[in-house]
Amino acid sequence: MPEILAVDLGGTNIRVARFPSAQPPATTHSKTPTRAAEGPEAVIARILQAIESIAPPSRADMRIGIGAPGPLDTRRGVILDAPNLPGWLNLPLRERVADHFGCPVALGNDANLAALAEWRFGAGRGCTELLYLTISTGIGGGVISDGHLLLGAQGLAAELGHMTLLMGGPTCSCGQHGHLEGIASGPAIARRAAERLAAGEASSLRALSTAAEGLTAEAVGQAARQGDTLARLVVDEAAEAIGCHLASLLHAFNPQVVVLGGGVMQIGDLLLPGIEAAMRAQVMHPAFLDGLRIARAQLGEDVGLIGAMALASEL
């Protein structure tokens, strides 16, 4: 049984964990600020140091799994472009880490790895066809097809938040238009609320829109829970868009389980009824709903580390 070290590289923190038996829970965790503004070389040095700090004395059978924000070429182990990590362009992170530690290293897209983690150890255990959507600052995805992570030619597949749902619609963080991410991510929900406030609609959110912490999806959710009409409408519109897109994704992938995760699912109690209703209403044939299960992600903030571990365990 190999000893696995997992790395979750984020724009804010680098998290590492040690999995001596290639399954959760981790025995050791460590977290260090990414300080991305210092550039790739400084961040890579911190990644190597963080791994060193929890590595076992004997590295004979060690493997390392790394999750990082996409798009990345997982087949070659190269980060192509990381919006939250300035200067990371075509960076061969897998090779850099493998050269340092002299052991096998796997690199995966963080949303893909979350799908892998929820499938192996979380809400999707036991199925062979799973669709995972993480709704957060962005919207990412992962697909398990016939018991394997769907990767595509360069490992870029399953960017399920970057698919056009509304031609000519709102601009997405990626610069394109009408993607689900530009309609129903956390920032998109906040923006929709701000637009309605700017149009003069009444809402308890008006005070927040000038406050320091600003308007967030969480604040919109809280107001919706307290009966604010504007907030409720914004939440319902996001749920409708997510449900509509899920119907399309059922047609594309015909999964057994849909797992929904990410920070915006903290208001999942408000979103889920609308998501499910829209999905069921917009499916092309009831057979796509036969035995289908919609589940919330179970693995919490460790999902990225567990996914990186699961990826490395397949090396």
Residues β-bridged to residue 106: 65
Q: Are 192 and 238 in contact (CB under 8 A)?
A: yes
Residues 6+ apart with CB under 8 A from 314: 106
Angstrom distance (rounded) from CA 258 to CA 252 = 13
Angstrom distance (rounded) from CA 65 to CA 113 = 10
Minimum separation from the CB atom of position 258 to its own copies (A): 11
Binder among 43, 123, 160, 311 for its own copies (CB under 8 A): 160
CB of 50 or CB of 91, closer to its own copies: 91
Which span (31-39, 188-196, 246-254, 295-303) binds its own copies, by CB under 8 A? Answer: 246-254
CB of 47 or CB of 183, closer to its own copies: 183
**Phi-psi sector, 289: left (phi>0), alpha (psi -120 to 50), beta:** alpha
CB of 18 or CB of 192, closer to its own copies: 192
| 89-91 β-sheet, strand order | 72-73, 78-81, 89-91
Q: Which of residues 132-151 bind its own copies (CB under 8 A)?
A: 145-146, 148, 150-151
Q: Between β-strands 13-19 and 28-33, what pairing exists: parallel, antiparallel or unpaired?
A: antiparallel
Which span (43-51, 174-182, 228-236, 301-309) binds its own copies, by CB under 8 A? Answer: 174-182
Binder among 22, 42, 48, 156 for its own copies (CB under 8 A): 156
Binding site for its own copies (CB under 8 A): 71, 73, 80-81, 128-129, 145-146, 148, 150-160, 162-167, 169, 172, 174-177, 179, 241, 244-245, 247-249, 251-256, 282-285, 287-288, 290-292
